[in-house]
């Protein structure tokens, strides 16, 4: 798929309305995404699936499935290889795309699969995500290694310079392990392997870590929502946004029941953000959200994240990757309650937002963006919230329109995720945390 041409980057899929979704999928096909037989058995038991010969009817589910299936099959997942620090040697190589760009690799002398007893020798893996920091953190070396990796490092003009310095690190710790064998830790390494046989180090985890990946999250989310729709007659749900890669997934599911807020010309509906990040010891979670769309134009939407709390239900619920699979499934049973928890909040929306001056809110968003180095290169975003003679935000409807235009700007997904929360806190509470 063209949108995944840049490896290891989380992307948002194109608008669903343009993709001719059938809005249904057979349970048997959905469960085929689960490769781990122990997990599949637990899912079937937990949801009392005596048969998989039934259909799940959620808006855009079949289209979303295609993307999940694609990223899940793009690489071979190798998640249970162990090695010790002294068997790993770091080096820099030139990027295939740019000879002047240095990329960090780990050479593994020895790796061992504890489950099937297979050993691997002489594997070279490109270091991706935050795995270099995970490897060096306990030695307080992450900052230094990131300095060596930096593409804007003017002090190190060549890959050779970087390799001389990284070799010093390799040798110093080799001597340390010889002097003190107890400092030589054994670790669990997770790899991705592409169709060409290239290895990529994805993350370093612990013995307790469970592989609840992208497919697992998607499957149990859809089954939990299907269960909620059976429980609550008249509940209609649609997947309104999907962002993913081979390690991370964010799904926003919105209720088909909308309420028109006349003062701002927006349709509002309850939504829920479901996400999973399987890098390191991250968590699976779901969060309350609201979807606002002008005149039901779903392509110009914005999501807000109110901090709703009802009884013992928090606005965000999460579970760790070290949790037992049945405990994870129990947590996702709460999706049914969360999707309804915003209904009362929708009615209070006008009262909450009326307390703030729209142009002051615009200014706060602008200041937050300008003061963040993360958005330095996103020029369209800065210009969007800038006050000018032709742009004076004198009502909330105008400000929401600007925020909705910000939502469709092409930017790194992590930045978009951060921006969503900033805008939410400022619009709803007049401040950003």
Taking the CA atoms of 385, 293, 255 and 27 in sequence, report the sign of the dihedral they define.
Answer: negative
pLDDT at 427: 86
Beta strands in 296-410 (DSSP E): 302-304, 316-320
DSSP annotation of 323: S
pLDDT at 425: 87
Q: What distance in Å separates the CA atoms of residue 358 and residue 401, rounded to the nearest whole number? A: 12
Whether pLDDT at 88 is above 90: yes
Task: Give the SS3 label for residue 102.
Answer: strand
Count CB neighbours of 410 within 10 A: 9
Task: Tell the burial category of 64 from Cβ atoms under 10 Å away from its Cβ (0-12, 13-18, 19+).
Answer: buried
- In this predicted structure, which of 100-109, 351-360, 371-380 has the lowest mean pLDDT? 351-360
CB 404 within 8 A of CB 365: no
pTM to 2 decimal places: 0.91
| Chain mean pLDDT for the chain | 88
DSSP annotation of 306: -
pLDDT at 36: 93
Q: Mean of the pLDDT values across residues 75-79?
A: 93
pLDDT digits (tens, 9 = 90+) for 111-167: 999 888 899 999 999 999 999 999 999 899 999 999 998 877 778 878 999 999 999
Bridge partners of residue 198, in order along the sequence: none
Where residue 316 falls (left for φ over 0; alpha for ψ -120 to 50; beta otherwise) is: beta
| Antiparallel, parallel or unpaired: β 119-127 and 199-205 | parallel
Q: Mean of the pLDDT values across residues 88-95?
A: 93
Q: Mean of the pLDDT values across residues 220-231?
A: 94
Length of the chain, please? 433
Q: What distance in Å separates the CA atoms of residue 199 and residue 201, rounded to the nearest whole number? A: 7
Q: Please, which residues have CB within 8 angstroms of residue 114's CB and are 6 or more apart in sequence?
A: 80, 82
Where residue 8 falls (left for φ over 0; alpha for ψ -120 to 50; beta otherwise) is: left
DSSP annotation of 226: H
pLDDT at 349: 65
What confidence tier does 258 reach under pLDDT thresholds 50, 70, 90? confident
pLDDT at 69: 97
What confidence tier does 391 reach under pLDDT thresholds 50, 70, 90? low
pLDDT at 41: 97
φ/ψ (deg, to 5) at 139: -105, 10
What's the Cα-to-Cα distance from 45 to each of 40, 42, 225, 250, 362, rounded to whole Å? 9, 5, 17, 26, 50
Q: Mean of the pLDDT values across residues 358-362?
A: 88
Whether pLDDT at 10 is above 70: yes
CB 281 within 8 A of CB 205: yes
Bridge partners of residue 249, in order along the sequence: 244, 276
Q: Mean of the pLDDT values across residues 182-195?
A: 94
pLDDT digits (tens, 9 = 90+) for 261-287: 887 888 888 889 999 998 877 789 888
Whether pLDDT at 105 is above 80: yes
CB 242 within 8 A of CB 251: yes
Count CB neighbours of 232 within 10 A: 12
CB 133 within 8 A of CB 201: no
Tell me how far the alpha carbon of residue 143 is from its chain's centroid: 24
| Antiparallel, parallel or unpaired: β 199-205 and 248-255 | unpaired
DSSP annotation of 50: S
pLDDT at 122: 93
Task: Give the SS3 label for residue 390.
Answer: coil
pLDDT at 239: 96
Whether pLDDT at 376 is above 70: yes
């Amino acid at each position: 798929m063209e949108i995944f041409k840049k490896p290891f980057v989380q992307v948002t899929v194109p608008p669903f309305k343009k993709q001719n979704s059938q809005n249904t999928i057979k349970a048997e096909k959905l469960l085929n995404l689960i490769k781990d037989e122990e997990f599949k058995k637990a899912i079937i038991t937990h949801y009392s699936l005596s048969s998989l010969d039934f259909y799940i009817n959620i808006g855009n589910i079949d289209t979303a499935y295609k993307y999940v299936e694609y990223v899940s099959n793009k690489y071979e997942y190798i998640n249970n290889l162990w090695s010790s620090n002294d068997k790993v040697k770091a080096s820099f190589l030139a990027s295939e795309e740019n000879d002047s760009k240095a990329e960090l690799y780990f050479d593994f002398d020895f790796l061992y699969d504890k489950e099937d007893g297979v050993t691997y020798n002489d594997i070279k893996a490109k270091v991706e995500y935050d795995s270099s920091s995970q490897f060096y953190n306990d030695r307080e070396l992450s900052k230094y290694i990131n300095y060596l990796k930096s593409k804007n490092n003017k002090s190190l003009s060549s890959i050779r310079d970087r390799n001389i310095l990284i070799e010093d690190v390799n040798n110093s710790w080799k001597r340390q392990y010889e002097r003190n064998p107890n400092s030589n830790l054994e670790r669990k390494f997770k790899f991705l392997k592409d169709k060409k046989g290239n290895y990529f180090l994805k993350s370093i985890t612990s013995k307790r870590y469970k592989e609840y990946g992208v497919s697992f999250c998607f499957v149990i989310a859809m089954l939990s929502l299907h269960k909620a729709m059976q429980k609550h007659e008249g509940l209609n749900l649609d997947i309104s946004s999907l962002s993913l890669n081979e390690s991370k997934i964010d799904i926003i599911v919105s209720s088909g029941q909308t309420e028109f807020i006349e003062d701002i010309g927006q349709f509002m509906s309850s939504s829920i953000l479901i996400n999973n990040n399987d890098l390191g010891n991250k968590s699976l979670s779901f969060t309350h959200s609201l979807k606002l769309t002008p005149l039901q134009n779903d392509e110009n939407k914005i999501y807000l994240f109110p901090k709703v709390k009802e009884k013992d239900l928090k606005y965000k619920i999460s579970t760790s990757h070290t949790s037992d699979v049945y405990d994870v499934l129990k947590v996702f049973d709460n999706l049914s309650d969360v999707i309804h928890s915003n209904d009362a909040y929708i009615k209070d929306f006008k009262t909450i937002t009326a307390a703030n001056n729209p142009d002051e809110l615009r200014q706060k968003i602008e200041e937050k963006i300008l003061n963040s180095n993360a958005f330095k290169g996103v020029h369209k975003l800065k210009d969007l919230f800038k006050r000018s003679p032709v742009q004076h935000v004198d009502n909330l409807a105008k400000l929401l329109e600007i925020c909705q235009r910000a939502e469709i700007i092409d930017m790194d997904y992590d930045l978009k995720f951060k921006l969503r929360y900033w805008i939410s806190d400022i619009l709803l509470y007049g401040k950003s945390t």
